[in-house]
Structure 1
Amino acid sequence: LIKSYKELQVKITECREVEDLIKADIIEKEILIDEINNRVKNNMNLIITMIDTLSSNESHPEVKLKYKELSQRVKAILLIQKNLYLSLSYAEIDFGNFIVNVTENLLDFYQAKEIVEVDFKVSGVFLNIDYAIPCGIVVNELISNALKHAFIENQPRKKHHKNILFIGYESDNQDYTITISDNGIGLPNDFDLKEVETIGLQLVDILVNDQINGSIELLKTRGTSFIIRFSTKKQE
Protein backbone atom coordinates (compact mmCIF):
# COMPACT_ATOMS: atom_id res chain seq x y z
CA LEU A 1 0.00 0.00 0.00
CA ILE A 2 2.84 2.38 0.90
CA LYS A 3 4.55 1.54 -2.39
CA SER A 4 1.36 2.27 -4.34
CA TYR A 5 0.94 5.55 -2.48
CA LYS A 6 4.49 6.61 -3.35
CA GLU A 7 3.96 5.69 -7.00
CA LEU A 8 0.76 7.74 -7.00
CA GLN A 9 2.60 10.71 -5.51
CA VAL A 10 5.26 10.45 -8.23
CA LYS A 11 2.60 10.38 -10.95
CA ILE A 12 0.79 13.36 -9.41
CA THR A 13 4.07 15.28 -9.31
CA GLU A 14 4.78 14.38 -12.95
CA CYS A 15 1.28 15.48 -13.98
CA ARG A 16 1.72 18.80 -12.20
CA GLU A 17 5.06 19.34 -13.92
CA VAL A 18 3.47 18.62 -17.31
CA GLU A 19 0.58 20.96 -16.45
CA ASP A 20 3.04 23.72 -15.52
CA LEU A 21 4.87 23.22 -18.81
CA ILE A 22 1.60 23.44 -20.76
CA LYS A 23 0.59 26.62 -18.91
CA ALA A 24 4.00 28.16 -19.58
CA ASP A 25 3.72 27.21 -23.26
CA ILE A 26 0.25 28.79 -23.50
CA ILE A 27 1.48 32.01 -21.88
CA GLU A 28 4.47 32.10 -24.23
CA LYS A 29 2.22 31.64 -27.27
CA GLU A 30 -0.18 34.36 -26.08
CA ILE A 31 2.74 36.76 -25.68
CA LEU A 32 3.96 35.82 -29.16
CA ILE A 33 0.49 36.37 -30.66
CA ASP A 34 0.26 39.78 -28.95
CA GLU A 35 3.68 40.70 -30.33
CA ILE A 36 2.78 39.58 -33.85
CA ASN A 37 -0.53 41.46 -33.69
CA ASN A 38 1.20 44.65 -32.56
CA ARG A 39 3.82 44.39 -35.29
CA VAL A 40 1.22 43.77 -38.00
CA LYS A 41 -0.92 46.65 -36.72
CA ASN A 42 2.04 49.02 -36.49
CA ASN A 43 3.34 48.09 -39.95
CA MET A 44 -0.07 48.54 -41.56
CA ASN A 45 -0.60 51.84 -39.79
CA LEU A 46 2.79 52.92 -41.12
CA ILE A 47 1.68 52.02 -44.66
CA ILE A 48 -1.55 53.99 -44.14
CA THR A 49 0.44 56.99 -42.89
CA MET A 50 2.73 56.85 -45.93
CA ILE A 51 -0.23 56.70 -48.31
CA ASP A 52 -2.01 59.52 -46.49
CA THR A 53 1.16 61.62 -46.71
CA LEU A 54 1.30 61.07 -50.47
CA SER A 55 -2.36 62.03 -50.67
CA SER A 56 -1.92 65.24 -48.68
CA ASN A 57 0.99 66.28 -50.92
CA GLU A 58 -0.93 65.57 -54.13
CA SER A 59 -2.67 68.49 -55.85
CA HIS A 60 -4.46 66.56 -58.62
CA PRO A 61 -7.99 65.70 -57.32
CA GLU A 62 -8.30 62.34 -59.11
CA VAL A 63 -4.87 61.12 -58.00
CA LYS A 64 -5.58 62.36 -54.48
CA LEU A 65 -8.80 60.32 -54.41
CA LYS A 66 -6.96 57.21 -55.63
CA TYR A 67 -4.52 57.52 -52.74
CA LYS A 68 -7.39 57.90 -50.27
CA GLU A 69 -9.16 54.84 -51.67
CA LEU A 70 -5.94 52.85 -51.45
CA SER A 71 -5.62 53.89 -47.81
CA GLN A 72 -9.20 52.71 -47.25
CA ARG A 73 -8.36 49.29 -48.73
CA VAL A 74 -5.49 48.87 -46.29
CA LYS A 75 -7.77 49.94 -43.43
CA ALA A 76 -10.23 47.20 -44.44
CA ILE A 77 -7.46 44.59 -44.15
CA LEU A 78 -6.42 46.10 -40.81
CA LEU A 79 -10.04 45.78 -39.64
CA ILE A 80 -9.96 42.06 -40.47
CA GLN A 81 -6.75 41.75 -38.44
CA LYS A 82 -8.44 43.52 -35.52
CA ASN A 83 -11.50 41.25 -35.69
CA LEU A 84 -9.24 38.20 -35.85
CA TYR A 85 -7.29 39.28 -32.77
CA LEU A 86 -10.49 39.92 -30.80
CA SER A 87 -12.11 36.62 -31.80
CA LEU A 88 -11.97 33.51 -29.63
CA SER A 89 -10.22 31.71 -32.46
CA TYR A 90 -7.15 33.00 -34.27
CA ALA A 91 -8.17 31.09 -37.40
CA GLU A 92 -11.56 32.70 -38.18
CA ILE A 93 -13.57 35.89 -37.65
CA ASP A 94 -17.19 36.95 -37.27
CA PHE A 95 -17.49 38.10 -40.88
CA GLY A 96 -20.97 39.53 -40.42
CA ASN A 97 -19.64 41.87 -37.76
CA PHE A 98 -16.76 42.84 -40.06
CA ILE A 99 -19.22 43.72 -42.85
CA VAL A 100 -21.17 46.05 -40.57
CA ASN A 101 -17.97 47.74 -39.35
CA VAL A 102 -16.42 48.23 -42.79
CA THR A 103 -19.73 49.60 -44.12
CA GLU A 104 -19.84 52.18 -41.33
CA ASN A 105 -16.28 53.21 -42.18
CA LEU A 106 -17.11 53.60 -45.87
CA LEU A 107 -20.27 55.60 -45.16
CA ASP A 108 -18.09 58.02 -43.22
CA PHE A 109 -15.42 58.05 -45.92
CA TYR A 110 -17.89 58.91 -48.70
CA GLN A 111 -19.98 61.15 -46.40
CA ALA A 112 -23.06 59.13 -47.28
CA LYS A 113 -24.67 58.42 -43.91
CA GLU A 114 -27.40 61.02 -44.40
CA ILE A 115 -28.25 60.09 -47.98
CA VAL A 116 -27.93 56.30 -48.18
CA GLU A 117 -29.98 53.88 -46.13
CA VAL A 118 -28.27 50.54 -45.51
CA ASP A 119 -30.30 47.36 -45.13
CA PHE A 120 -28.20 44.66 -43.46
CA LYS A 121 -29.07 40.99 -43.55
CA VAL A 122 -25.89 39.44 -42.22
CA SER A 123 -25.52 36.33 -40.10
CA GLY A 124 -22.97 35.97 -37.33
CA VAL A 125 -21.29 33.12 -39.16
CA PHE A 126 -17.54 32.88 -38.69
CA LEU A 127 -15.30 32.68 -41.75
CA ASN A 128 -11.84 31.16 -42.03
CA ILE A 129 -9.10 33.79 -42.30
CA ASP A 130 -7.93 32.33 -45.64
CA TYR A 131 -11.29 33.39 -47.08
CA ALA A 132 -11.97 36.37 -44.82
CA ILE A 133 -9.13 38.52 -46.19
CA PRO A 134 -9.99 38.24 -49.92
CA CYS A 135 -13.72 38.42 -49.15
CA GLY A 136 -13.12 41.46 -46.97
CA ILE A 137 -11.37 43.25 -49.83
CA VAL A 138 -14.20 42.24 -52.21
CA VAL A 139 -16.86 43.59 -49.84
CA ASN A 140 -14.90 46.81 -49.38
CA GLU A 141 -14.61 47.31 -53.16
CA LEU A 142 -18.26 46.57 -53.98
CA ILE A 143 -19.63 48.80 -51.22
CA SER A 144 -17.21 51.56 -52.25
CA ASN A 145 -18.30 51.19 -55.87
CA ALA A 146 -21.98 51.49 -54.93
CA LEU A 147 -21.48 54.53 -52.69
CA LYS A 148 -19.29 56.21 -55.28
CA HIS A 149 -21.25 55.56 -58.49
CA ALA A 150 -24.78 54.24 -57.84
CA PHE A 151 -26.41 57.45 -56.69
CA ILE A 152 -26.03 60.49 -58.96
CA GLU A 153 -24.52 63.34 -56.98
CA ASN A 154 -25.54 61.37 -53.89
CA GLN A 155 -29.10 62.63 -54.27
CA PRO A 156 -32.38 60.69 -54.49
CA ARG A 157 -33.78 60.48 -58.03
CA LYS A 158 -37.32 61.31 -56.96
CA LYS A 159 -38.86 63.28 -54.14
CA HIS A 160 -39.95 60.21 -52.18
CA HIS A 161 -37.19 57.92 -53.43
CA LYS A 162 -34.75 56.46 -50.91
CA ASN A 163 -31.21 55.48 -51.77
CA ILE A 164 -31.00 51.89 -50.53
CA LEU A 165 -27.90 49.75 -50.20
CA PHE A 166 -28.60 46.12 -49.33
CA ILE A 167 -25.82 43.98 -47.88
CA GLY A 168 -26.37 40.28 -47.27
CA TYR A 169 -24.17 37.52 -45.89
CA GLU A 170 -25.35 33.98 -45.21
CA SER A 171 -24.06 30.43 -45.21
CA ASP A 172 -25.45 26.95 -45.64
CA ASN A 173 -23.18 24.05 -44.69
CA GLN A 174 -19.93 25.80 -45.72
CA ASP A 175 -21.54 27.33 -48.83
CA TYR A 176 -21.49 31.12 -48.57
CA THR A 177 -23.33 33.94 -50.32
CA ILE A 178 -22.45 37.64 -50.16
CA THR A 179 -24.84 40.12 -51.78
CA ILE A 180 -24.17 43.81 -52.40
CA SER A 181 -27.17 45.46 -54.02
CA ASP A 182 -28.29 49.04 -54.64
CA ASN A 183 -31.28 50.76 -56.23
CA GLY A 184 -29.15 53.37 -57.95
CA ILE A 185 -28.75 54.33 -61.60
CA GLY A 186 -27.48 50.90 -62.63
CA LEU A 187 -24.73 49.83 -65.01
CA PRO A 188 -24.60 50.21 -68.80
CA ASN A 189 -26.20 47.37 -70.76
CA ASP A 190 -22.87 46.47 -72.32
CA PHE A 191 -21.00 46.39 -68.99
CA ASP A 192 -18.62 43.42 -68.77
CA LEU A 193 -16.76 42.72 -65.53
CA LYS A 194 -13.98 41.01 -67.49
CA GLU A 195 -13.38 44.16 -69.54
CA VAL A 196 -13.63 46.74 -66.77
CA GLU A 197 -10.69 49.13 -66.37
CA THR A 198 -11.17 50.24 -62.75
CA ILE A 199 -8.75 48.69 -60.26
CA GLY A 200 -11.45 48.00 -57.66
CA LEU A 201 -13.65 45.82 -59.86
CA GLN A 202 -10.60 44.13 -61.37
CA LEU A 203 -9.63 43.15 -57.83
CA VAL A 204 -13.12 41.77 -57.22
CA ASP A 205 -12.96 39.60 -60.35
CA ILE A 206 -9.46 38.27 -59.58
CA LEU A 207 -10.06 37.58 -55.88
CA VAL A 208 -13.40 35.83 -56.37
CA ASN A 209 -12.43 33.69 -59.34
CA ASP A 210 -8.76 32.98 -58.62
CA GLN A 211 -8.34 33.13 -54.86
CA ILE A 212 -11.55 31.77 -53.33
CA ASN A 213 -12.69 29.80 -56.40
CA GLY A 214 -16.09 31.46 -56.29
CA SER A 215 -18.53 32.90 -58.78
CA ILE A 216 -19.97 36.36 -59.44
CA GLU A 217 -23.54 36.90 -60.56
CA LEU A 218 -24.34 40.40 -61.80
CA LEU A 219 -27.96 41.59 -61.94
CA LYS A 220 -28.91 44.91 -63.54
CA THR A 221 -32.58 45.16 -62.61
CA ARG A 222 -33.72 48.02 -60.34
CA GLY A 223 -30.14 49.12 -59.83
CA THR A 224 -27.16 46.79 -59.51
CA SER A 225 -26.63 43.58 -57.58
CA PHE A 226 -23.40 41.64 -57.15
CA ILE A 227 -23.92 38.14 -55.75
CA ILE A 228 -20.77 36.31 -54.67
CA ARG A 229 -20.95 32.58 -54.04
CA PHE A 230 -18.16 30.33 -52.78
CA SER A 231 -17.58 27.23 -50.71
CA THR A 232 -15.02 26.38 -48.04
CA LYS A 233 -15.54 22.65 -48.49
CA LYS A 234 -12.36 20.80 -49.35
CA GLN A 235 -12.26 19.63 -52.94
CA GLU A 236 -11.95 15.86 -53.24
Structure 2
Amino acid sequence: MHKRMEAFFWGGKEYINNAWTNAQVYMTLGMAKVNIFDKKYIKCGKTVIDGVLDVVPEVTSSWYEPTQICRGIDSLIRAYEGRNSIFDCTDVKESTIPVNDAISALPVIITSDNKDQVDAVQALYDSLSDAKKASLKESTKAKLAAAQDALNNVDKALKISNLTDKKEFKLGDNAKVSVKVENNSDKDKEVSLIVELYDGSNKFIKYVCSNKTIKKAQSAILDGIIKLPEQGTYNLKAFVWDSLENMSPLFNEIDMPVK
Protein backbone atom coordinates (compact mmCIF):
# COMPACT_ATOMS: atom_id res chain seq x y z
CA MET A 1 0.00 0.00 0.00
CA HIS A 2 1.53 3.33 -1.07
CA LYS A 3 0.47 6.91 -0.33
CA ARG A 4 0.55 9.10 -3.43
CA MET A 5 1.29 12.81 -3.49
CA GLU A 6 -2.39 13.29 -4.39
CA ALA A 7 -3.08 12.08 -0.80
CA PHE A 8 -4.79 8.81 -1.62
CA PHE A 9 -3.53 5.28 -1.17
CA TRP A 10 -2.67 3.12 -4.15
CA GLY A 11 -3.35 -0.59 -3.75
CA GLY A 12 -0.95 -1.65 -6.49
CA LYS A 13 -3.47 -2.49 -9.19
CA GLU A 14 -5.30 0.42 -10.80
CA TYR A 15 -4.15 4.00 -10.35
CA ILE A 16 -7.48 5.18 -8.94
CA ASN A 17 -8.51 7.16 -5.86
CA ASN A 18 -10.46 4.23 -4.43
CA ALA A 19 -12.51 5.05 -1.31
CA TRP A 20 -12.49 1.40 -0.26
CA THR A 21 -8.70 1.22 -0.30
CA ASN A 22 -8.39 4.54 1.55
CA ALA A 23 -10.92 3.47 4.21
CA GLN A 24 -9.10 0.19 4.89
CA VAL A 25 -5.87 2.11 5.46
CA TYR A 26 -7.66 4.59 7.73
CA MET A 27 -9.08 1.78 9.86
CA THR A 28 -5.64 0.18 10.13
CA LEU A 29 -4.00 3.48 11.11
CA GLY A 30 -6.78 4.11 13.63
CA MET A 31 -6.33 0.72 15.27
CA ALA A 32 -2.60 1.45 15.49
CA LYS A 33 -3.42 4.71 17.32
CA VAL A 34 -1.52 6.75 14.71
CA ASN A 35 -1.63 10.54 14.80
CA ILE A 36 -2.27 11.29 11.14
CA PHE A 37 -1.37 14.94 11.64
CA ASP A 38 2.19 14.06 12.52
CA LYS A 39 4.50 15.55 9.88
CA LYS A 40 5.69 12.12 8.77
CA TYR A 41 2.16 11.39 7.51
CA ILE A 42 1.89 14.65 5.55
CA LYS A 43 3.06 14.63 1.94
CA CYS A 44 3.24 17.65 -0.36
CA GLY A 45 1.22 19.56 2.25
CA LYS A 46 -1.63 17.05 2.22
CA THR A 47 -2.80 14.77 5.02
CA VAL A 48 -3.91 11.19 4.49
CA ILE A 49 -7.58 12.20 4.43
CA ASP A 50 -7.34 14.93 1.79
CA GLY A 51 -7.50 12.39 -1.02
CA VAL A 52 -10.79 10.84 0.04
CA LEU A 53 -12.33 14.24 0.74
CA ASP A 54 -11.44 15.32 -2.80
CA VAL A 55 -13.79 12.71 -4.28
CA VAL A 56 -16.79 13.45 -2.03
CA PRO A 57 -18.63 15.45 -4.74
CA GLU A 58 -18.22 12.56 -7.18
CA VAL A 59 -21.15 10.63 -5.76
CA THR A 60 -21.76 8.82 -9.05
CA SER A 61 -18.29 7.29 -9.07
CA SER A 62 -18.11 3.52 -8.65
CA TRP A 63 -15.12 4.11 -6.37
CA TYR A 64 -17.12 6.29 -3.96
CA GLU A 65 -18.70 4.46 -0.98
CA PRO A 66 -19.98 6.79 1.80
CA THR A 67 -20.45 4.18 4.54
CA GLN A 68 -16.97 2.75 4.06
CA ILE A 69 -15.46 6.25 4.09
CA CYS A 70 -17.33 7.04 7.31
CA ARG A 71 -15.97 3.90 8.97
CA GLY A 72 -12.45 4.84 8.00
CA ILE A 73 -12.71 8.44 9.18
CA ASP A 74 -14.45 7.35 12.38
CA SER A 75 -11.49 5.05 13.07
CA LEU A 76 -9.08 7.97 12.71
CA ILE A 77 -11.20 10.21 14.92
CA ARG A 78 -11.37 7.55 17.60
CA ALA A 79 -7.59 7.26 17.60
CA TYR A 80 -7.13 11.04 17.73
CA GLU A 81 -9.55 11.33 20.69
CA GLY A 82 -7.95 8.40 22.53
CA ARG A 83 -11.08 6.23 22.32
CA ASN A 84 -11.43 2.52 21.61
CA SER A 85 -10.73 1.23 18.12
CA ILE A 86 -13.39 0.97 15.43
CA PHE A 87 -13.97 -2.71 16.21
CA ASP A 88 -14.37 -2.15 19.96
CA CYS A 89 -17.38 0.09 20.44
CA THR A 90 -17.93 -0.77 24.12
CA ASP A 91 -17.19 2.86 24.97
CA VAL A 92 -20.19 4.09 22.97
CA LYS A 93 -22.75 5.78 25.18
CA GLU A 94 -26.33 4.52 24.88
CA SER A 95 -25.09 1.37 23.15
CA THR A 96 -27.71 -1.01 21.77
CA ILE A 97 -25.52 -4.06 22.50
CA PRO A 98 -26.77 -4.62 26.11
CA VAL A 99 -30.35 -4.17 24.92
CA ASN A 100 -29.93 -6.67 22.09
CA ASP A 101 -28.32 -9.18 24.45
CA ALA A 102 -31.04 -8.73 27.09
CA ILE A 103 -33.86 -9.22 24.57
CA SER A 104 -32.14 -12.29 23.10
CA ALA A 105 -31.90 -13.77 26.61
CA LEU A 106 -35.66 -13.58 27.18
CA PRO A 107 -37.17 -17.09 27.34
CA VAL A 108 -39.52 -18.28 24.64
CA ILE A 109 -42.22 -19.05 27.20
CA ILE A 110 -43.10 -16.06 29.38
CA THR A 111 -44.89 -16.52 32.70
CA SER A 112 -45.45 -14.37 35.76
CA ASP A 113 -42.08 -15.56 37.07
CA ASN A 114 -40.42 -13.60 34.24
CA LYS A 115 -42.03 -10.27 35.14
CA ASP A 116 -38.91 -8.73 36.72
CA GLN A 117 -36.74 -9.84 33.80
CA VAL A 118 -39.14 -8.49 31.16
CA ASP A 119 -39.57 -5.20 33.07
CA ALA A 120 -35.79 -4.79 33.31
CA VAL A 121 -35.36 -5.38 29.57
CA GLN A 122 -38.19 -2.95 28.80
CA ALA A 123 -36.49 -0.30 30.95
CA LEU A 124 -33.24 -0.79 28.99
CA TYR A 125 -35.11 -0.40 25.72
CA ASP A 126 -37.01 2.67 26.91
CA SER A 127 -33.73 4.36 27.88
CA LEU A 128 -32.61 4.39 24.22
CA SER A 129 -33.15 7.40 22.00
CA ASP A 130 -35.63 7.12 19.14
CA ALA A 131 -32.75 6.82 16.68
CA LYS A 132 -31.19 3.94 18.64
CA LYS A 133 -34.55 2.18 18.92
CA ALA A 134 -35.00 2.50 15.17
CA SER A 135 -31.60 0.88 14.59
CA LEU A 136 -32.69 -2.36 16.29
CA LYS A 137 -33.90 -5.20 14.09
CA GLU A 138 -37.66 -5.47 13.77
CA SER A 139 -37.46 -9.10 14.89
CA THR A 140 -35.67 -8.01 18.08
CA LYS A 141 -38.30 -5.40 18.92
CA ALA A 142 -41.03 -7.90 18.07
CA LYS A 143 -39.64 -10.40 20.59
CA LEU A 144 -39.78 -7.79 23.37
CA ALA A 145 -43.33 -6.79 22.39
CA ALA A 146 -44.37 -10.46 22.37
CA ALA A 147 -42.88 -10.93 25.85
CA GLN A 148 -44.88 -7.98 27.15
CA ASP A 149 -48.07 -9.31 25.53
CA ALA A 150 -47.49 -12.74 27.05
CA LEU A 151 -46.91 -11.18 30.46
CA ASN A 152 -50.12 -9.18 30.18
CA ASN A 153 -52.05 -12.32 29.30
CA VAL A 154 -50.71 -14.42 32.17
CA ASP A 155 -53.42 -15.52 34.59
CA LYS A 156 -52.29 -13.57 37.65
CA ALA A 157 -54.93 -15.25 39.81
CA LEU A 158 -52.93 -18.49 39.81
CA LYS A 159 -49.85 -18.91 41.97
CA ILE A 160 -47.77 -21.94 40.99
CA SER A 161 -44.83 -23.45 42.88
CA ASN A 162 -42.50 -26.27 41.87
CA LEU A 163 -42.51 -28.85 44.69
CA THR A 164 -40.22 -31.37 42.93
CA ASP A 165 -37.58 -32.35 45.48
CA LYS A 166 -34.96 -33.51 42.96
CA LYS A 167 -32.73 -31.60 40.56
CA GLU A 168 -32.08 -34.72 38.48
CA PHE A 169 -33.32 -38.30 38.16
CA LYS A 170 -31.57 -41.64 37.78
CA LEU A 171 -32.11 -44.23 35.06
CA GLY A 172 -34.79 -46.72 36.09
CA ASP A 173 -36.47 -44.25 38.49
CA ASN A 174 -40.14 -43.52 38.73
CA ALA A 175 -39.56 -39.81 38.14
CA LYS A 176 -42.09 -37.69 39.99
CA VAL A 177 -42.72 -34.01 39.25
CA SER A 178 -45.04 -32.06 41.54
CA VAL A 179 -46.44 -28.54 41.42
CA LYS A 180 -48.73 -26.67 43.78
CA VAL A 181 -51.40 -24.43 42.27
CA GLU A 182 -53.20 -21.79 44.32
CA ASN A 183 -56.34 -20.35 42.77
CA ASN A 184 -56.87 -16.85 44.14
CA SER A 185 -59.68 -15.99 41.75
CA ASP A 186 -63.45 -16.06 42.25
CA LYS A 187 -64.00 -18.90 39.78
CA ASP A 188 -62.75 -22.44 39.19
CA LYS A 189 -59.64 -22.91 37.02
CA GLU A 190 -58.45 -25.80 34.84
CA VAL A 191 -54.75 -26.69 35.11
CA SER A 192 -52.69 -29.42 33.41
CA LEU A 193 -49.25 -30.76 34.33
CA ILE A 194 -47.47 -32.47 31.43
CA VAL A 195 -44.24 -34.45 32.01
CA GLU A 196 -42.35 -35.43 28.86
CA LEU A 197 -39.31 -37.64 28.25
CA TYR A 198 -36.74 -36.89 25.52
CA ASP A 199 -33.68 -38.86 24.46
CA GLY A 200 -30.14 -37.49 24.04
CA SER A 201 -30.91 -36.14 20.56
CA ASN A 202 -33.97 -34.30 21.94
CA LYS A 203 -36.38 -36.77 20.33
CA PHE A 204 -39.73 -37.09 22.12
CA ILE A 205 -40.22 -40.53 23.75
CA LYS A 206 -43.38 -40.42 25.88
CA TYR A 207 -45.40 -38.31 28.30
CA VAL A 208 -47.85 -38.38 31.20
CA CYS A 209 -50.47 -35.77 32.01
CA SER A 210 -52.30 -34.74 35.17
CA ASN A 211 -55.39 -32.52 34.96
CA LYS A 212 -57.29 -30.86 37.77
CA THR A 213 -59.99 -28.29 38.29
CA ILE A 214 -58.85 -25.98 41.07
CA LYS A 215 -61.81 -24.62 42.99
CA LYS A 216 -61.96 -20.88 43.60
CA ALA A 217 -59.94 -19.69 46.60
CA GLN A 218 -58.44 -23.17 46.99
CA SER A 219 -55.20 -24.93 46.12
CA ALA A 220 -54.21 -28.36 44.83
CA ILE A 221 -51.11 -30.39 44.06
CA LEU A 222 -50.60 -31.97 40.65
CA ASP A 223 -48.23 -34.92 40.26
CA GLY A 224 -46.78 -36.46 37.11
CA ILE A 225 -44.96 -39.80 37.42
CA ILE A 226 -43.09 -41.30 34.49
CA LYS A 227 -41.07 -44.55 34.40
CA LEU A 228 -37.53 -43.94 33.15
CA PRO A 229 -35.63 -46.42 30.96
CA GLU A 230 -32.79 -48.47 32.46
CA GLN A 231 -30.21 -47.39 29.86
CA GLY A 232 -29.47 -44.43 27.61
CA THR A 233 -29.27 -40.65 27.77
CA TYR A 234 -32.48 -38.78 28.55
CA ASN A 235 -33.90 -35.48 29.68
CA LEU A 236 -37.15 -34.74 31.48
CA LYS A 237 -39.29 -31.68 30.77
CA ALA A 238 -42.43 -30.59 32.59
CA PHE A 239 -44.98 -27.95 31.59
CA VAL A 240 -47.92 -26.37 33.39
CA TRP A 241 -50.63 -25.37 30.92
CA ASP A 242 -54.21 -24.20 31.15
CA SER A 243 -55.18 -27.31 29.17
CA LEU A 244 -53.90 -29.80 26.61
CA GLU A 245 -56.13 -28.14 24.04
CA ASN A 246 -55.01 -24.52 24.49
CA MET A 247 -51.47 -25.24 25.72
CA SER A 248 -51.14 -21.73 27.19
CA PRO A 249 -48.18 -21.77 29.62
CA LEU A 250 -48.87 -20.85 33.23
CA PHE A 251 -45.38 -21.56 34.59
CA ASN A 252 -41.79 -21.77 33.41
CA GLU A 253 -40.65 -25.01 31.80
CA ILE A 254 -39.12 -27.45 34.32
CA ASP A 255 -36.06 -29.12 32.83
CA MET A 256 -34.23 -31.97 34.61
CA PRO A 257 -31.49 -34.33 33.40
CA VAL A 258 -31.62 -38.10 33.75
CA LYS A 259 -28.29 -39.69 34.74
Structure-2-length-normalised TM-score: 0.24
- Between structure 1 and structure 2, the one with the greater Rg is 2
Q: Which is richer in helix?
A: 1
TM-score, L = length of structure 1 = 0.26
Structure with higher strand content: 2
